[in-house]
Amino acid sequence: MASENSSNPYDINGSNFNSELYIQRLLKECSLKQIMDHEADTVLDTQTLHSDMQTLVYENYNKFIAATDTVRKMKYDFNQMEESMEKLEKNMENITNLSEKITETLLPDRQKVIKLSSTHSLLKKLQFIFKLPENLKERINEENYSKAVQDYLNAQQVLNQYGDMPSFQGIHKDCEEIIEELKTKLRTEFHKSEASTKSLTESVDLLLQLKEPADLLCEDFLSHADVRLANQLDYLKDMHEKDVIEFVDFGSNGFLSDLCLVVASYKDMFVNRTPQDVHEFSDDFDTKAISRLNTFVMNNMKKYFELVGKRVDNVADTAVLVRALDRFYKRLQAMNVLCENTDFARTGTEIVIAAGRRQCRNHLSNLKQHLHETLAKVRQTLASKVSSDTDGGLPELQAMLTVPIIEKVKGVLQDLLVFLQPELSFGLKPQFLQRFCVDEVREGLVVGFLHHMTATANGFCTNLDTPKFPATLLLLLSKMCLEFKDTSVQYLLTSTDDLFNIEEYAVTKSDLTLHSEINENFQKAAQELLNHFVRLQGLNVSQMLRKSVETRDWLHTIEPRTVRAVMKRVVEDITAIEAQVTVLYDDNDGQIDRSSDSSRKTHSVSRHQYRSNWSSYTPSHLDSSFVSNIHKLFSERIEIFSSVQFNKASILTGIIKISLKTFLECVRLRTFSKYGLQQIQVDTHYLQLYLWPFVSDENLVHFLLDEILGSAVHRCLEPVLMEPSVVDIICERN
């Protein structure tokens, strides 16, 4: 391809370019404007190439001039070097000649010079020995202990060898006394609180050179170091109220740094000795020294861990706590080299896990407090509502019991996620991840709070006598438990599992509480709350009925002209309860439509059947009534306190059953006159007219009302019933 371009006569950059052919082709193929533009471009390219060519020429010219100057300078330098070499050669010849002359001159006196030199050396040594006591005192006064020991050790061999000679005895004795004084001064360093580890190391090293017992020096060195580290720990205690990061930094840069320096110095002095120093120690010294060091380090680290554990107990800000724990753990990982067979990182992990556990428990306590405050707020709101507004605002209160709690739990989970940041030094430890994520966050916090919710809900079902809360709260809590069972439990546990990778960190599935188990607890709590609501509301209505029966003189009552007010109150209360239940359990399962024609027919037939039963309560039919009652013993039994279903009809049926059963039992304990019986007749008929739409099976209401009227007939001294038409008129008028 390149060869084709180079042989192309139209290629302006090729070697075979033909300008005439190129111009002819350009005139044929291009317009006048294109030719003029091409000419302008060609002129511009030509100028550019010309400029580049000039620049290249100038650059090469400058380089040539510089090279010429360099060659000229090198030529001059070589001339100078040649002259210097000639001078050096002459000087070397002169030195050689002088050396030969000196050698020839000194050759006869060589032995004398050697002897004089050795004598001079000996005299210098003797002079050193004689001046040694004075020099030692001077070095000690200057606190130049290292030089004093070095001088003594240099002269020790001579003193030991010639110490028995009279001329050396005094010198030897003075030196020994001075050295003993020096040892005393070095030992006093151990008792100075301001003495640094470096100065102690120098003192111990000098004492070891002076053949002091290594065992005693070990004990003294560690005892003084223990005092210094105790001071550091005391200062840490005083910092307990300061910022936790500042606390950890001081512990790392102060206490741990000093401890590392002590250990390193100890090992250099007593463990890692050079081969020429091994003879200074006993055979079992290394074992004892290492054991003594391990004990020293473990005792001090135990105290440090206790202080850190207490300090991280009182940190509310999770982000600050995690930063402090990260700095603490990073420094701790380097501490394992201090002692053999120790793992301070494991202890550090335990402290981190304990801190995470306490943080989870603090959050759990806050969630419990939030739940308690929410319940108190809902109770206060319910208690402050007037009776005409008892069914209003329940959806908002229901949302208040559910949405803020879920958001609060989500916020807590997001707060705890800082423990899992990948850059943390302890964040990737399997031991930490399994115990923190699974045991503390999921099981301890989320599952624990869900269990607390069910326990709190069940706590409202313990007392029926004197409840300290509105009954509507039970209805709200029951609905809340159902919502958690249906959606919220699954959502919270799934969110927790996803955020904290629970399935990856859990050892076995048995470590995890199943969704179904928690859902079952919420289902039971919801059922128990609803049952308790029904019993509590039934008890409230029953108390009105019981007082209305017990406080009336049924033997001296007048002929009934109206329905008693308590019956109207019962219907009003049931209606108000229905309005509340409808808001939360708005379904039509098992209910009767009041407005339908079929309901009216059923109502009419039921009234006819109910009235037909009145004839069986006349005196002439007491025997047949007795037979009827015997038959009822073998009929299906009505469960008054059975569990209700989660629908409006079942809830209201349960309340009405309890109320009418109480009415029945109260009637059985009273004695009635004729007018008293007729008043019961009017009351039961009024209840029959208005209670049947609230229940799923109106025959149940008819049966209980029939039982009430029958009991009144049996307890009546003159059982004469009122005409049904008159009863209708009285009830409809009211």
Using one digit for the tens of pLDDT, what is the confidence trace for 508-566?
Answer: 777 788 888 999 999 999 999 999 888 888 898 989 999 999 999 999 889 888 999 99
Name, of 230-244, 326-340, 525-539, 629-643, the range with top average pLDDT: 525-539
List Cβ neighbours of 137 (8 Å cut-off, separation of 6 or more): 178
Chain segment 216-234, per-residue pLDDT in tens: 777 777 887 888 888 888 8
Rounded to a whole number, what is the distance in angstroms from the first to the last CA of the chain?
115
Compute the average pLDDT of residues 309-327: 84
Whether 82 has a pLDDT exceeding 70, the answer reads yes
Cα–Cα dist 625/630, whole Å: 9
Helices (H) and strands (E) counted in the chain, each on its own, are 27, 0
Give the model's pLDDT for residue 192. Answer: 60
C-alpha triplet 57, 63, 67: angle, nearest 5°: 145
Average pLDDT, integer, range 156-164: 58
421-435, 443-457, 465-479, 655-669: segment of lowest average pLDDT = 421-435
Question: What's residue 597's pLDDT?
Answer: 37
Q: 19-33, 103-117, 450-464: lowest mean pLDDT where?
A: 103-117
**Is the dihedral angle over the CA atoms 453, 459, 464, 470 positive or is it negative?**
negative
User: Among 192-196, 223-227, 481-485, which stretch is predicted with the lowest mean pLDDT?
Assistant: 192-196
Percent of the chain with pLDDT over 90: 15
With beta carbons less than 8 A apart as the criterion, state whether 617 and 709 touch.
yes
- pTM for this predicted structure: 0.66
pLDDT band at 679 (very low <50, low <70, confident <90, very high): very high
pLDDT average, residue stretch 689-712: 87
Query: Would you say 614 and 680 are in contact if contact means Cβ atoms under 8 Å apart?
Result: no
Which of the two residues, 143 and 351, has the higher pLDDT score? 351
Helix or strand (DSSP H, E) at 732: helix 724-733
Residue 443, pLDDT > 80, answer yes
Do residues 409 and 483 make contact, with C-beta atoms less than 8 angstroms apart?
no
pLDDT of residue 638: 57
583-629 pLDDT, tens digit each: 888 655 444 444 333 333 334 434 444 444 554 454 433 443 444 45
Longest dimension (CA), the chain: 175
Which of 238-252, 292-306, 407-421 shows the lowest mean pLDDT across its residues? 238-252
Of 24-28, 197-201, 504-508, 602-606, the poorest mean pLDDT is in 602-606
Say if residues 652 and 700 touch (Cβ distance below 8 Å): no
Helix (H) or strand (E) holding 653: helix 648-668
Closest CA to 322 of 254, 235, 237, 248: 248
Condensed to tens digits (0 to 9), the pLDDT of residues 167-193 reads 556 666 666 677 677 666 666 666 565
Q: How confident is the model at residue 452, as a pLDDT?
A: 92
Question: For 133-137, 322-326, 684-688, which range has the lowest pLDDT when averaged over its residues?
Answer: 133-137
Give the mean model confidence (pLDDT) for residues 76-83.
75
Query: How much is the pLDDT for 520?
Result: 92
For 63-72, 134-143, 433-442, which range has the lowest pLDDT when averaged over its residues? 134-143
Q: Is the pLDDT of residue 318 over 80?
A: yes
pLDDT value at position 462? 77
Poorest-confidence range of 222-231, 376-385, 463-472, 546-555?
A: 463-472
Type of residue numbered 474: L
Strand partners, 716: 672
Element (H, E) at 622: helix 622-633
The residues, any chain, with a CB within 8 Å of residue 482's CB and separated by 6 or more, are 522, 523, 526, 646
Statement: residue 366 has pLDDT above 90: yes
> Does residue 682 register a pLDDT over 90?
yes
How big, in percent rounded to 5, are the helix, strand and coil portions of the chain? Answer: 80, 0, 20
The answer to whether 701 and 695 are in contact (CB under 8 A) is: yes
pLDDT score at 105: 73
CA-based angle 382:363:407, to the nearest 5?
55
With beta carbons less than 8 A apart as the criterion, state whether 539 and 498 touch. no
Q: Is 508 helix (H, G, I), strand (E, B) or coil?
A: coil
What pLDDT score does 123 carry? 54
d(CA 695, CA 648): 9
Residue 581 has what pLDDT? 87
- Cα R_g (the chain), whole angstroms: 54
pLDDT recorded at residue 236: 83
Q: In this predicted structure, what is the pLDDT of residue 134?
A: 67
- Average pLDDT of the residues in 250-260: 84
The pLDDT of residue 591 is 43
For the cut 60, the answer to whether the pLDDT of residue 281 exceeds it is no
Mean pLDDT of 293-320: 85
Of the ranges 54-68, 399-413, 492-506, the best mean pLDDT one: 399-413
Sign of CA dihedral 650, 652, 658, 664: negative
Residue pair 580/391 in contact (Cβ under 8 Å)? The answer is yes
